[in-house]
């Protein structure tokens, strides 16, 4: 069974690597394991039990409202272009201070990934501005992409990451925290994660200097017109730029550690719906 399980994992990763739809591949892998468990091992329920467990999680009151409202908020921020205004507001200063371009790109991506927790979404939103801006400063394209990519884990301290509510629920049941509140978990892990992001940014900067792939290291200026045009002609609306961070600000103010706003009144879904309505 160990070898069968290992084979399923290897095939799953291979199919994802080949750009097959990840959720479909993972779901099919789970069904295969459930089928093997029923036929070979004789596990009670098998496939039907796996489907029942899946359906049960689809209506998980502690998980689904959080994920759905965060996804909806992210979509509205993209649809209204509020995320573009925030990205431009943070990205434009980098071009004026070449020395901080690489670490700045990492930190900006990391911070924006907290507000918009989709790694793919934030890479697309930031990459379309940052990467052309970095290449325009003659940073090597691979280093430009690496600077954006290394920042796409800011979602670890986002209330939209499904694992934070899960950990909060587990900790609450184990009586480690007073309430199943994801913000308690996030506030405790925020500082170590911020330090990790800073260390990652510094390490990439050192690599950039050693490999001489930073500002002025290349003459490649291909595929820049779109990115440069966005940078030069995009007029930032400060009100729209602030809207994406409103839910996060409300959650921090309502956290037990800060306590400015009542915690029970400002849950993750409530804050996300407020941000969505304002957007």
CA terminus-to-terminus distance, the chain: 51
Contacts of 172 (CB under 8 A, 6+ apart): 178, 179, 180, 181
Q: What is the mean pLDDT of residues 68-77?
A: 86
pLDDT at position 219 is 61
How far is the CA of 133 from the CAs of 136, 140, 231, in angstroms? 5, 11, 8
Predicted confidence band at 229 (pLDDT cuts at 50, 70, 90)?
very low
Average pLDDT of every residue of the chain = 82
Predicted confidence band at 91 (pLDDT cuts at 50, 70, 90)?
confident
Q: Higher-confidence residue: 274 or 49?
A: 274
pLDDT at position 131 is 80
d(CA 277, CA 279): 5
Q: Higher-confidence residue: 47 or 173?
A: 173
pLDDT at position 41 is 65
Predicted confidence band at 164 (pLDDT cuts at 50, 70, 90)?
confident
């Amino acid at each position: 069974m160990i070898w069968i399980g290992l084979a399923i994992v290897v095939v799953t990763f291979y199919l994802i690597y080949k750009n097959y739809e990840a959720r479909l591949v993972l779901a099919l892998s789970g069904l295969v394991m459930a089928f093997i468990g029923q036929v070979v091992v004789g596990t009670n329920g098998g496939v039907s039990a796996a489907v029942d467990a899946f359906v049960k999680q689809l209506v998980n009151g502690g998980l689904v409202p959080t994920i759905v409202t965060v996804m909806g908020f992210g979509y509205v921020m993209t649809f209204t272009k509020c995320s573009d205004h925030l990205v431009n507001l943070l990205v434009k200063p980098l071009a004026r201070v070449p020395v901080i371009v690489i670490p700045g790109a990492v930190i900006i991506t990391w911070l924006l990934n907290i507000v918009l927790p989709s790694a793919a979404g934030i890479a697309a939103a930031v990459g379309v501005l940052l990467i052309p801006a970095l290449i325009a400063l003659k940073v090597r394209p691979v280093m430009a992409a690496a600077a954006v990519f290394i920042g796409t884990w800011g979602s670890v301290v986002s209330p939209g990451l499904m694992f934070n509510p899960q950990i909060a629920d587990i900790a609450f049941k184990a009586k480690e925290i007073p309430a199943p509140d994801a913000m308690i978990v996030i506030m405790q892990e925020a500082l170590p994660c911020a330090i990790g992001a800073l260390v990652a940014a510094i390490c990439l900067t050192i690599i950039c200097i050693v490999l001489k792939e930073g500002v002025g290291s290349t003459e490649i200026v291909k595929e820049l017109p779109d990115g440069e045009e966005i940078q030069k002609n995009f007029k930032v609306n400060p009100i729209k730029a602030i809207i994406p961070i409103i839910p996060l600000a409300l959650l921090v103010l309502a956290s037990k550690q800060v306590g400015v706003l009542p915690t029970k009144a400002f849950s993750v879904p409530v804050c996300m719906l407020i941000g969505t309505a304002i957007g």
